[in-house]
Amino acid sequence: DAGITQSPRHKVTETGTPVTLRCHQTENHRYMYWYRQDPGHGLRLIHYSYGVKDTDKGEVSDGYSVSRSKTEDFLLTLESATSSQTSVYFCAIGASGTSSYEQYFGPGTRLTVT
Amino acid sequence: DQQVKQNSPSLSVQEGRISILNCDYTNSMFDYFLWYKKYPAEGPTFLISISSIKDKNEDGRFTVFLNKSAKHLSLHIVPSQPGDSAVYFCAASAYYGGSQGNLIFGKGTKLSVKP
């Protein structure tokens, strides 16, 4: 298994509060991704990073920000959580310089916004 | 506008029989396709992939077929086992301007393999 951990694994928070989810990898991969999974929507990309301090938006980036100050850590922040951000969040990593596009996923964080 | 479509939300198969999961795509620039398997309360795990220069890739019980003219791919599982019961996601990517593109996922198909 790829060395990817996510913390926390579960969180319940109130509407309007800030929330930060952490993704940590031990594989030294260049690319890191944040997805959310919702019933009927599959996996949707929120933000991704292609190197330290290099990030870009994905399909559903509104209401989210990210930071990557070290190769191994990728943080996802909900500045002011809303009920529509209740979801399961997955971090993924991918290598560069290969001919394939495989990504390897972490175990997920279940976030509930009340 | 869904670029990767899995039109069957669920599929039920008897143990030992073949499971066929289908995926259609609309973007002709996609050049790499992947299948992921996901169990409840776990992250998706990579299963098998295929490049657009091939029409078939096999790995044990799993075979992926690609029909570029129809923009269609399928995952065959033979024989199906109860442990294969999971949600299967199809994903696609394109290589743009010297860098790898992000994966675009379908909505998933829930496979149930009954003993």
Taking CB atoms and an 8 Å cutoff, what residues of chain A touch B108? Answer: 42
Q: Are A14 and A114 in contact (CB under 8 A)?
A: yes
B23/A contact by beta carbon, under 8 A: no
Q: Can you tell me the distance from the alpha carbon of A99 to that of B102, in angstroms, rounded to the nearest whole number?
A: 13
Distance of CA A64 to the CA centre of its chain: 10
Written as six digits, the tokens of B77 are 């599982």
Digit-coded pLDDT (tens) for B66-88? 999 999 999 999 999 999 999 99
CA distance B52 to chain A (A): 11
Angle at B59 between CA B53 and CA B63, to 5 degrees: 65
A45/B43 touch (CB, cutoff 8 Å), yes or no: no
With helix as H, strand as E and coil as C, how does A3-22 read?
Answer: CEEEECCEEEECCCCCEEEE
Looking at residue B36, what DSSP letter applies?
E
Which residue of chain A comes nearest to B8, CA vs CA? A40
B103/A contact by beta carbon, under 8 A: yes
Task: Report whether pLDDT(A57) > 70.
Answer: yes
SS3 at position A52: coil
Digit-coded pLDDT (tens) for B20-38? 999 999 999 998 999 999 9
